[in-house]
Amino acid sequence: MGTAETKVVISGVGIISCFGEGIDVLWDAMLEGRTGLKRIERFDPSGFTSQVAGELAEDAFKVRKIVPKSHRKATKVMCRDTELAVGASMLAVASAGLATAGTGDAPPTLQPNRVGCHIGAGLIAADVNELGAALVTSKKEDGTFDLAHWGSEGMQNLTPLWLLKYLPNMLACHITIVHDCQGPSNAITCCEAASALSIAESRRVIQRGDADACLSGGAEDRVNPLALYRQHCTGRLADSDGSGDMSSLVQPFSEHATGTVIGEGGGIMIVESAVSCEARGGLPWCTIEGIGCRQSFADSPLDADPQAIASAITRALEEAGSTIDEIDVIVPLGSGVKQVDDAERDGLHTIFKDRLDSIPTITTIPYTGNCMAGNSGISIGVAAKALQEQKLPARLGADQTTGIDAGTCDSREMNIRNILCITAGEGGQCVAIVLGRISS
Amino acid sequence: MTRVVVTGMGWITPLGNDLDTVWKRMCNSESAIATIDRFDASSFPTKFAGQVRDFDWTAYVNDSAIHHSPAMNSQFALGAAKQAWEQSGLGNFKQLNLERAGIYMGAGEGVLDFSAHSMIDTHSWDVEDDKVDPVAWAKFAQDSLDEWGEVEQEPNMPLWHVAKEYGLRGPAFNCLTACAASTQAIGEATSVLLHGDADVMLTGGTHTMLHALGITGFNRLTALSTYDGDPKKASKPFSKDRGGFVMGEGSGMLVLETLEHALARGATPIAEIVGFGSSADAYRITDLHPEGRGPAAAITNALSQANIDPKATVDGKPLVQYISAHGTSTQENDSIETKAIKLVFGENAPNVPVSSIKSMMGHLIAAAGSVELITCIMSIQTGMLVPTINLDTPDPELDLDYVPNVAREAQVDCCVSNSFGFGGQNNTLVVKRFNS
């Protein structure tokens, strides 16, 4: 039976980003200061003003190669978002040293009904080629769409399980099936805050005693025409045709920031009670010391709210029992969207005052693009890695930022005790999480 | 020990847009299922649904201008939330700490503009390449689609609208576990309160998939009823001739509070949430586990949290007096749910009335669970069990008391409400009469 005082750790990290499979390829790029942003290759993006993304190379990730043989057939009904999440879950489980139904014939390390699964997902965009191929069968001679024909015949050209690809809970459902997680399961759909909220929920589920460990985080693919268009509609994207220096395209906290860019990827963690991790001989990456969640009161769902961000941080610090002096690094959303960055900085300043510009930040979006529901999964995974390695990766973006230490810099070694991760997502959900170093 | 009580509730449903109207119609065994008139579905395999009618969201908000053209799911949520908020009396409680007032929604996505999308996809189709020309697609999209309408499709937008309307600044989540979403939202909102992260949570669900692509998707899955008689007879949970679910739409919202907070401000608790169970089938995307493993685990976990032994009796009667079934009217769900109930309640199972309001209003998808939990609370309040209508051909394999066709009086103090989502996510709530 758990309680609110039950210690919870991150005992495994699985990341898929534009750099490929695993935290290490991303981490290496971040140590070197090498962005993964480039002109979109999956389709011709010329019709959009923002033509850049954090996109996986064509052969960099194939879900069929990473799932167990028993689940290969099911990959046919996976959308890209689900593929990314399932792939990241395989990496997370391996990273934690867990045996599950998805890892081979060894008996599971943990009882299946004590393993939960909380996965952040986005509004999954339909594949316009798949849907379009069915829709054109109902096109009249005059070029208009014939709904009557669609209802009687045209829809038969859609594969019967078409809808199941696009339900946001399918990320979590496929993961539960692959790993035989029979405990509490949820799909959190809160844009950039989705992964962080999933981790918050996993911790709460463990603390109330309903699970010993949870697969937790999120994934999303925005590198397709419909998803790119939907981001375009927010007015948040930086215009670029992909020429020029991509390492300074996204400039978190810069006066000259012009917006963010899309990405695909995600991060799945193993969130586990410290007791469970220790009992099985696991090696935690970091502790989850405190979490605060708040809702924005901004006038638009696209705007962030400094007060909500500050309040979330206050709550997280309270839970962690930490003072601001014990926070050595901050991992903000840092999207390059000026209003959101300004709100993050103002919210942080409310808490840290003038100390803010001396606390280094880690920003991931200039490397990976904004992976939306997967974004905080990636950034929290990077924070866990920074605590483990005691290193601060290089930063990309602008040379100068005001009031916050977020300008370009090289990587360096650093004594890091605690990292504050924050995210302020589209729709207004704000999350602050304090991660702590594992004491030897 | 912290206790969580319900202090307000409201719904927007195909049977009506206020608590009393809907309740009376359900007690009268009325069906809201009728021919779809939101779009021309006359050629579709399914031509009927439970549609919300006579609803104007602007009557449920203080200032419609702050809401930026909400999508229909957000409109429903605003309507249901207004009723819940008013019943709770929180609107008059000026000392409410808004950072301790959160929101947990189980909301579905907004309505896709199928007319525009079908035009864009077909006009940009490149016959030679046999795929969409993405450059043309982008141009048509930018010329044809309502940009804000696309933003409103994010599933967390109802959350934003409702939170904005009431100034809620506490913990905020949206989940979308298909048909189980709002039951999960209420359960996790309860957990947020028990964890000490908030004093008040506005929670529930909202959804509409009553549009051409939504009906298409479920028709292709062969999950929807294609009954060709009177639409009012189409949704027939637990009947031998059940042939799939009937689409509904709407919202159910509840105000939950810690008992301490409710009593301190002089509120009257309506009921108490005493148990929540969540599980995953971890079996197949397309099928439920044949033994009902996941649903049984969710029910068991919820009853365990409520300290209720499902196999015990007091004076010969089970401790649970009503189960609001997921009861979709599909062959598989109703059979597996019956199995799960029998597995958990053992010899008590035949003595626990079970009914499905989906027989009368259709399946509200993400919103179904919250509306069904309100039904449980109304049963506790009124001493009436609403029926499963259209149960004219009993299935010999399904032999529980499904309250067939006619409402009945009953002493109800404790209810179970089940919701099981596509893909195998299962959630159950236990709600009791409030007893100080």
Q: Cβ separation of B45 and A201 shorter than 8 Å?
A: no
Do B185 and B244 lie in one domain? The reply is: yes
Q: Is pLDDT of B166 > 80?
A: yes
Chain A contact present for B156, CB below 8 A: yes
Do B397 and B377 lie in one domain? The reply is: yes
Chain B contact present for A145, CB below 8 A: yes
Chain A contact present for B41, CB below 8 A: yes
Indicate the average pLDDT of chain A.
97
Task: State what percent of residues in chain A have pLDDT above 90.
Answer: 98
Chain A contact present for B143, CB below 8 A: no
Q: What are the φ and ψ backbone dihedral angles of B250, each rounded to 5 degrees?
A: 145, -160
C-beta contacts of A161-165 below 8 A and 24+ residues apart = A161/A77, A161/B220, A161/B221, A161/B285, A161/B286, A162/A130, A162/B217, A162/B220, A163/B217, A163/B218, A163/B220, A163/B221, A164/A77, A164/B221, A164/B285, A164/B286, A164/B422, A164/B423, A165/A77, A165/A78, A165/A79, A165/A82, A165/A124
Contact partners, residue B31, CB within 8 Å, separation at least 6 = B231, B232, B233, B235, B359, B360, B361, B389, B390
Is B117 a known active-site residue? no
Do B55 and B187 lie in one domain? The reply is: yes
Kindly list the distances between the CA atom of residue A98 and the CA atoms of A7, A11, A108, A223, B239, in Å, as whole numbers in the listed order.
Answer: 19, 10, 7, 32, 45
Chain B contact present for A290, CB below 8 A: no
Q: Among partner residues B115, B157, B195, which is closest to A207 by beta-carbon distance?
A: B195
Q: Cβ separation of B154 and A426 shorter than 8 Å?
A: yes
Q: Calculate the CA B5 to chain-centre distance.
A: 19
Q: Cβ separation of A128 and B121 shorter than 8 Å?
A: yes
Q: What residue type is B62 in one-letter code?
A: N
Q: Is pLDDT of A4 > 80?
A: no
Please state, in angstroms and rounded to a whole number, the distance separating the CA atoms of residues B66 and B59.
14
Q: Where are the domains of chain A?
A: 9-126+166-436, 130-162
Do B108 and B179 lie in one domain? The reply is: yes
Range of the domain at B119: 114-148
Chain A contact present for B147, CB below 8 A: yes
Do B104 and B119 lie in one domain? The reply is: no
Min Cα–Cα distance to chain A from B299, Å: 12
The answer to whether A361 and A329 have CB atoms below 8 angstroms apart is: yes
Task: Sort out which chain B residues have CB atoms less than 8 A from A425's CB and list them.
Answer: 156
Q: Quick one: which of A205, A191, A185, A120 has its CA closest to B190?
A: A205
Tens-place pLDDT, residues A205-246: 999 999 999 999 999 999 999 999 999 999 999 999 999 999
Q: Among partner residues B135, B154, B159, which is closest to A44 by beta-carbon distance?
A: B135
Average pLDDT of span B420-435: 97
Tell me whether residue B411 is exposed, middle or buried, using C-beta atoms within 10 angstroms of its C-beta: 0 to 12, 13 to 18, 19 or more.
exposed
- Provide the pLDDT for residue A225: 97
Is B68 a known active-site residue? no
- Provide the pLDDT for residue A226: 97
Do B15 and B130 lie in one domain? The reply is: no
**C-alpha dihedral, A75 to A81 to A84 to A89, nearest 10°:** -90
Q: Per-residue confidence at A1, pLDDT binned at 50, 70, 90?
A: low
Please state, in angstroms and rounded to a whole number, the distance separating the CA atoms of residues A219 and A80.
9
Q: Cβ separation of B102 and A234 shorter than 8 Å?
A: no
Partners of B417 in the β-ladder: B324, B429
Q: Per-residue confidence at A287, pLDDT binned at 50, 70, 90?
A: very high
**CB count, 10 Å around CB of A143?**
9
Where residue B33 sits, what CATH number does that domain have? 3.40.47.10
Apex A358 CA angle, A356 and A362, nearest 5: 85
Q: Cβ separation of A128 and B45 shorter than 8 Å?
A: no
Q: Among partner residues A116, A158, A201, which is closest to B216 by beta-carbon distance?
A: A158
Q: Among partner residues B122, B138, B170, which is closest to A229 by beta-carbon distance?
A: B138
Task: Sort out which chain B residues have CB atoms less than 8 A from A67's CB and list them.
Answer: none
Min Cα–Cα distance to chain B from A25, Å: 31
Predicted model pTM:
0.98
Q: Is A426 helix (H, G, I), strand (E, B) or coil?
A: coil
Do B143 and B93 lie in one domain? The reply is: no
The answer to whether B236 and B391 have CB atoms below 8 angstroms apart is: yes
CB pairs under 8 A between A and B: 297
CA-nearest residue to A309 within chain B is B169
Q: Cβ separation of B121 and A131 shorter than 8 Å?
A: yes
Q: What are the φ and ψ backbone dihedral angles of B218, each rounded to 5 degrees?
A: -75, -30
Do B108 and B219 lie in one domain? The reply is: yes
DSSP string, B46-113: --EEE---S--GGGGSS-GGGG-S--HHHHHHHHHHHHHHHHHTGGG-TT--GGGEEEEEEE------
Please state, in angstroms and rounded to a whole number, the distance separating the CA atoms of residues B245 and A63.
33
Do B124 and B251 lie in one domain? The reply is: no
Min Cα–Cα distance to chain A from B404, Å: 32
Average pLDDT of span B47-71: 97
Helix pair angle (B114-123, B134-144), 10° resolution? 150
Q: Is A88 helix (H, G, I), strand (E, B) or coil?
A: helix
Q: Is pLDDT of B436 > 90?
A: no
Please state, in angstroms and rounded to a whole number, the distance separating the CA atoms of residues B56 and B43.
29
Q: Cβ separation of A186 and B293 shorter than 8 Å?
A: no
Q: Is pLDDT of A325 > 80?
A: yes
Q: Cβ separation of B130 and A133 shorter than 8 Å?
A: yes
Q: Cβ separation of B151 and A302 shorter than 8 Å?
A: yes
Identify the active-site residue in B175, B179, B414, B415. B179
Instruction: Report A:100-119 residues touching B (Cβ under 8 A).
Output: 112-113, 116-117
Instruction: Report A:197-216 residues touching B (Cβ under 8 A).
Output: 197, 201, 204-205, 207-208, 210
Chain A contact present for B301, CB below 8 A: yes
Identify the active-site residue in B175, B207, B363, B415. B363
b or e along B243-257 (b: 16 or more beta carbons within 10 Å of the residue's beta carbon)? bbbbbbbbbbbbbbb
- Provide the pLDDT for residue B286: 87
The CATH number of the structural domain formed by A9-126+166-436 is: 3.40.47.10
Kindly list the distances between the CA atom of residue A156 and the CA atoms of A40, A179, A232, in Å, as whole numbers in the listed order.
Answer: 32, 33, 32
Identify the active-site residue in B161, B211, B326, B414. B326
SS (H, E, C) B307-372: CCCCCCEECCEECCCEEECCCCCCHHHHHHHHHHHHHHHHHHHHHCCEECCHHHHCECHHHHHHHH
Tell me whether residue A6 is exposed, middle or buried, using C-beta atoms within 10 angstroms of its C-beta: 0 to 12, 13 to 18, 19 or more.
middle
H or E element in which residue B17 lies: none
Q: Is pLDDT of B425 > 60?
A: yes
Q: Quick one: which of A166, A157, A165, A156 has its CA closest to A133?
A: A157
Query: Which segments of A18-61 does DSSP mark as H helices, in order?
Result: 23-32
Residue given tokens 């300074």 in the structure block: A248
Do B40 and B133 lie in one domain? The reply is: no
Chain B contact present for A230, CB below 8 A: yes
Do B124 and B103 lie in one domain? The reply is: no
Q: Which of B96, B122, B148 is the last residue of a domain?
A: B148
Do B137 and B224 lie in one domain? The reply is: no
Tens-place pLDDT, residues A294-314: 999 999 999 999 999 999 999
Instruction: Report A:19-58 residues touching B (Cβ under 8 A).
Output: 43-48
Checking DSSP bridges between strand A115-120 and strand A52-54, what pairing results, if any?
Answer: unpaired
**C-alpha dihedral, B147 to B148 to B151 to B155, nearest 10°:** -140
Q: Cβ separation of B66 and A151 shorter than 8 Å?
A: no
Task: State what percent of residues in chain B have pLDDT above 90.
Answer: 99
Indicate the average pLDDT of chain B.
97
What the block records as the tokens of A432 is 């602050």
Please state, in angstroms and rounded to a whole number, the distance separating the CA atoms of residues A424 and A343.
9
Q: Quick one: which of A252, A398, A262 has its CA closest to A338?
A: A252
Is B363 a known active-site residue? yes
H or E element in which residue A418 lies: strand A418-424
The answer to whether B177 and A169 have CB atoms below 8 angstroms apart is: yes
- Provide the pLDDT for residue B197: 97
Q: Among partner residues A145, A156, A187, which is closest to B122 by beta-carbon distance?
A: A145
Number of domains chain B is built from? 2
Average pLDDT of span A165-192: 98
Tens-place pLDDT, residues B302-325: 999 999 999 999 999 999 999 999
Average pLDDT of span B120-135: 96
Tens-place pLDDT, residues A386-402: 999 999 999 999 999 99
Tens-place pLDDT, residues B251-302: 999 999 999 999 999 999 999 999 999 999 999 998 999 999 999 999 999 9
Task: State what percent of residues in chain B have pLDDT above 70.
Answer: 100
Q: Among partner residues A77, A208, A229, which is closest to B194 by beta-carbon distance?
A: A208
Q: Per-residue confidence at A2, pLDDT binned at 50, 70, 90?
A: low
Report ipTM (2 d.p.). Answer: 0.98
